[in-house]
Amino acid sequence: MVFKRFFSLVVSIFTAGILFWTSPAFAKSLTVYFSKAGENYSVGEVQEGNTARLAKLIAKTTGSDIAEIIPENEYPMDIKTLTEVSKQEFESKARPVLKDNPDISGYDEIYLGTPVWWADMPMVVYTFLESQDFKGKTIHPFITHEGMGLSAIDRKIAEVTGAKVGPSLVMRGTMAQKADEETQSHVDEWLKQK
């Protein structure tokens, strides 16, 4: 009789543990982002891009893994040349080759970070999105900009991926670059909307 109770208790605890660790609150997540260091509009010369700073804060806050979208050919460091190159890519709908393509297959939730270039995502982000299978995944976009706002990027992500897209965090690059308590407060508020 004691053994039956003990066995029943062990099975109950084991089952509760499985349900707890596989619940949505503990879904495996990945923060994946594209960012550019060098000369940035409104923040000047930076060692780490605005979106990278925000991505690292989000990954730390959520406990997610982190990966960077890196093009095979790096973008120019100076803003003038970058503007010309990114405009050419935008106008031709180019799909720059990736140096490494982050693997999202083992993740349920994707925190996707991108700057806004030409009122859109950089074309290298489209390369990443179009190369992945987002079936059954939820994407939480975070966007850095210096005046363009969301630019319907959430809608574009949904169209390209077919994934469920949650509310977007939209932040000026100048705030993201600070990565301070105010930035953290915006991240925390955004995560409550999931």
Residue with tokens 């000047």: 44
3-state helix, strand, coil in the chain (%, to 5): 45, 20, 35
Q: Does residue 180 belong to any structural domain of this protein?
A: yes
Q: Does residue 156 belong to any structural domain of this protein?
A: yes
Distance (Å, rounded) from C-alpha 76 to C-alpha 26? 39
CATH label of the domain that carries residue 167 = 3.40.50.360
Residue 59 has pLDDT above 90, yes or no: yes
Summarised one tens digit per residue, pLDDT across range 136-150 is 999 999 999 999 999
Q: What value does the mean pLDDT take over residues 15-40?
A: 68
* Residue 27: per-residue pLDDT: 57
Q: What value does the mean pLDDT take over residues 157-171?
A: 98
Instruction: Please give the tally of structural domains in the chain.
Output: 1
Residue 21 has pLDDT above 60, yes or no: no
Residue 18 has pLDDT above 90, yes or no: no
Query: What are the φ/ψ torsions at residue 172 (nearest 5 degrees)?
Result: -65, 145
Residue 26 has pLDDT above 90, yes or no: no
* Residue 2: per-residue pLDDT: 54
Q: 172 forms bridges with which residues in the sheet? A: 145
From residue 147, alpha-carbon distances to 92, 115, 117, 164, 170 in Å are 24, 11, 11, 26, 11
Summarised one tens digit per residue, pLDDT across range 74-105 is 999 999 999 999 999 999 999 999 998 999 99
Q: Does residue 166 belong to any structural domain of this protein?
A: yes
Q: Does residue 12 belong to any structural domain of this protein?
A: no
| Parent domain of 55 | 27-192
- 52-67: burial string, b at 16+ Cβ within 10 Å, e else: bbbbbbbbeebebebb
Residue 16 has pLDDT above 50, yes or no: no
Q: Does residue 20 belong to any structural domain of this protein?
A: no
Mean pLDDT of the chain, nearest integer: 88
Q: Does residue 146 belong to any structural domain of this protein?
A: yes
Q: What value does the mean pLDDT take over residues 68-74?
A: 97
Q: Does residue 8 belong to any structural domain of this protein?
A: no
Q: Does residue 114 belong to any structural domain of this protein?
A: yes
pTM of the model: 0.84
Q: Taking each helix axis from N to C terminus, what angle separates 79-92 and 123-130, rounded to the nearest 10 degrees?
A: 50
